[in-house]
Structure 1
Amino acid sequence: MAQRRYWDERWDRQRLPNDYQRRRGDTILDLLGSLRLTNPEILDFGCGTGWFTEQLSHVGRATGLDLSEAAITYAKATYPHVPFIAANLFELSFPVEQFDVVVSQEVLAHVQDPM
């Protein structure tokens, strides 16, 4: 799959967040805190190398999902205490309804209409 290969190559070049991504992550964490959820189930859709999923794991039970197997391999090795899944959102083997919160950054512009 060409799309998976593209993301594998991208995450091989950029494993850590830039300043903008860190600031946006801090904003999302602040918003989650304002919801006052107790240990929520959180899905980080398009988690890349997992740096933000790891941050989310301090707020609730976070799971990272990304199309890139290379990014997920890196995330699992770097953050072994956080579950990560390499999969296409439209081909999941579990119900997304199990999550209280779904977070997605820099993903929607790259999602092709599945219909």
Structure 2
Amino acid sequence: MAKPNFKNLSNDTLKELRGIGHRLNPIIMVGGNGLTPTLIEETARALSDHELIKVKIPAGSADERKECASALADATDSQVVHHIGRMVLLFRKNDEPNDKLSNLARFGF
């Protein structure tokens, strides 16, 4: 799978995605074992279903959490849209989204 190019997302688009993300609850929580293959697989599935997800990374320093978020984004071919405290917002556009599951469709994006 080719890595998507997120450079074409405008600041306005990123702002809208952050606004949608503010209303979401975290659906992935990184535990003490860190980034396991199962966690990466589940995150990829969640991104395919929802396109925009919130991830909670409770352990580690701020730099370790940012590194973990970047590694998770790289492993799932997604983009870190926003990172604040222990919460990370990941985005990966689905070419054929399910309107019943997509957070983007649900919030009218």
Q: TM-score, normalised by structure 2?
A: 0.29
- Structure showing greater radius of gyration is 1
Structure with the higher fraction of residues in helix conformation: 1
